[in-house]
Chains A and B, each alone.
Chain A
Amino acid sequence: MPRFMYVIAVDEAAMANATPEQMEQMMTAHNDWGKAVADAGATVIAGDPLAPSSTATTVRHAEDGSPIVTDGPFAETKEALGGYYILECADGDVALALAKSLPAGTVELRPIVDLPS
């Protein structure tokens, strides 16, 4: 079965100011989504929230191949990478339907490449 990664973008300022009730609601929404995943015959392989982008470190490589470490995420935008899921499901249509119901503002859906074992 194909696997997909759901990359979740969040508004970090809004997240930082969320009340305990809002956090609770978010947890419930994600738990409910987990049930929708199972109903769609799909499996959550992994999924976690990420620490804010202020804690990100980016490693690039110079032309000579030497690593350059910078403080911060890939790209500075209003939305930042906030969490992820990895799912296994029947096909791209099921994956897309679940991306639509995921309780998050913006989700990037990416097929995972199966490397030959």
Chain B
Amino acid sequence: MPDPPDVQAAVEEAHRGEWGLVLAATARFVGGDLSLAEEATQDAFVAALQTWGERGIPRRPGAWLTATARRKALDVIRRDAVLRRKLPALAASASEQTDDDEEGDVIPDDRLRLVFTCCHPALAPEARSALTLRLVCGLSTAEIARAYLVPEATLAVRITRAKKKIAAAAIPYRVPEGPDLAERTDDVLTVVHLVFTAGHTATGGDELVRADLVARSLDLARVLASLLPEDPEVVGLLALLELTDARRDARVGADGELVLLEDQDRSRWDRTAVDHGLAMLDRGLRLTGPQHPPGRFLLQAALAAVHAEAATWEDTDWAAAVLLYDQLLVVWPSPVVALNRGVAVGFAEGPAAGLAALDRLAPEPMLARYHYLPAARAELLRRLDRVAEAAAAYREALTLVTAEPERRHLERRLATLPG
């Protein structure tokens, strides 16, 4: 009989690695009923704690859990069928299937169906990431609520409502085909990127939970890249997340302060993650061509690579960055991208050119409340020795900034202006 700590560890490892697979396979088995699949998956993990302790840890934990979850789901269907005499056909066909594949066969795109369903455009955007973290990654509603700083009850309602809508609106449990696939893949990538950003950006809240969001989004990006290996944007997202996350240790100073890219100790970047990210970027770029120009995730990964490949901030190839921003603006015409392009122009062609580019963005309503625009202007004015205007721009940025580490950074910059 295995030691209880070993069983606990094996169940935790399976939960981390197999939850999404088990739930996805169970959901297919019960015709896309996600609530039933979730309940049955949960029950299977509870059963594993006991059964594995008594009979040993199975050779293939995922297969054991899938077979168990299906049996649990079947129990519910049979019970309901007896109660309502409504689903005898489904119960019968399900029981035939389960006798044949006691091991619980797992077809590779099961998780893909689950992800596409969780990220369906008919669901509210904030519900998509919550549902993905719950059903695909197996995070509890309490963990997701802590990560997003919302009350657990609010989050539970959000997830329940989304599951009800999937059922009521007959949202199919399948991977979209044809022209829909690219558009729906973009929806999925957006959700994964948002989960990463929520974990990566310092917005307060529980440090451990946020690190978990980063790890889960990287897991999701890897799963997607293995299931859709021919899609340059999918590969591009993985490259982007790896290259960005490689800087994690260097982003926070000894005093807990946020360290800007410019000031980071590049020897603290995770070289393995950088190398893997660069390899992914290379693979993604080779999948593009005249018919498939690089999209926003691949281009952002290429921009992250410009920094990853520079030994120092001064070595940054800003001309390459400007070209990449130009391409990015074509596929993603966002004022925030134009703002970042302006900053790159400031380094590639000098502060006066950068300032001219930023000043063209001043009337943009989307940037009116965005502290980064006056902060970027302040840096350029500083380099042009226009000290009074720089100070005014820092002060404007300080009236708009919300995150505490960024506020402290702006205050330091203002205080160190030459008087």
Contacts and interface: CB of A to CB of B under 8 A. Distances in A.
B172 A111 contact: no
A72 interface: no
Contacts of A97: 180
B168 A93 contact: no
Given A109-B122, A111-B168, A111-B170, 18 more contacts: A2-B170, A91-B170, A91-B171, A92-B122, A92-B170, A92-B171, A92-B172, A93-B171, A93-B172, A93-B180, A95-B169, A95-B170, A96-B121, A96-B122, A97-B180, A109-B169, A111-B169, A113-B168
Interface string B147-176: 000000000000000000000111110001
A34 B169 CA distance: 21
A44 to B, nearest CB: 17
Interface in B114-132: 121-122
Query: Main SS of the interface on chain B?
Result: loop
Contacts of A91: 170-172
Looking at chain B, what size class is its interface with the partner chain? Answer: under 10
Query: Which of A2, A90, A93, A111 gathers most chain B CB within 10 Å?
Result: A93
A14 B169 CA distance: 32
Interface of A: 2, 90-93, 95-97, 109, 111, 113
A91 B176 CA distance: 12
B47 to A, nearest CB: 33
A96 B184 CA distance: 13
Contacts of A92: 122, 169-172
A40 B171 CA distance: 16
A96 B166 CA distance: 13
Nearest to B173: A91
B142 to A, nearest CB: 30
A113 B169 CA distance: 9
A82 B205 CA distance: 47
A56 to B, nearest CB: 27
Contacts of B171: 91-93
A76 to B, nearest CB: 26
A93 B113 CA distance: 13
B263 to A, nearest CB: 48
B214 to A, nearest CB: 32
Contacts of A113: 168
Contacts of B172: 90-93
A97 B172 CA distance: 13
Contacts of B168: 111, 113
User: B168, B169, B172: which has the most chain A beta carbons within 10 Å?
Assistant: B169
A41 B97 CA distance: 30
What 9 pairs between A and B have smallest CB-CB spacing? A2-B170, A92-B170, A91-B172, A92-B171, A92-B169, A91-B170, A111-B169, A111-B168, A93-B172
Nearest to B172: A91
Interface centre among A91, A92, A96, A113 (most CB of B within 10 A): A92
Nearest to A116: B86
Contacts of A90: 172
Nearest to B168: A111
Contacts of B121: 96
A96 B171 CA distance: 9
A86 to B, nearest CB: 14
B10 to A, nearest CB: 39
A2 B166 CA distance: 13
A90 B169 CA distance: 11
Contacts of B122: 92, 96, 109
A111 B168 CA distance: 6
A59 to B, nearest CB: 26
B58 to A, nearest CB: 36
A65 B165 CA distance: 31
20 contacts: A90-B172, A91-B170, A91-B171, A92-B122, A92-B169, A92-B170, A92-B171, A92-B172, A93-B171, A93-B172, A93-B176, A93-B180, A95-B170, A96-B121, A96-B122, A97-B180, A109-B122, A111-B169, A111-B170, A113-B168
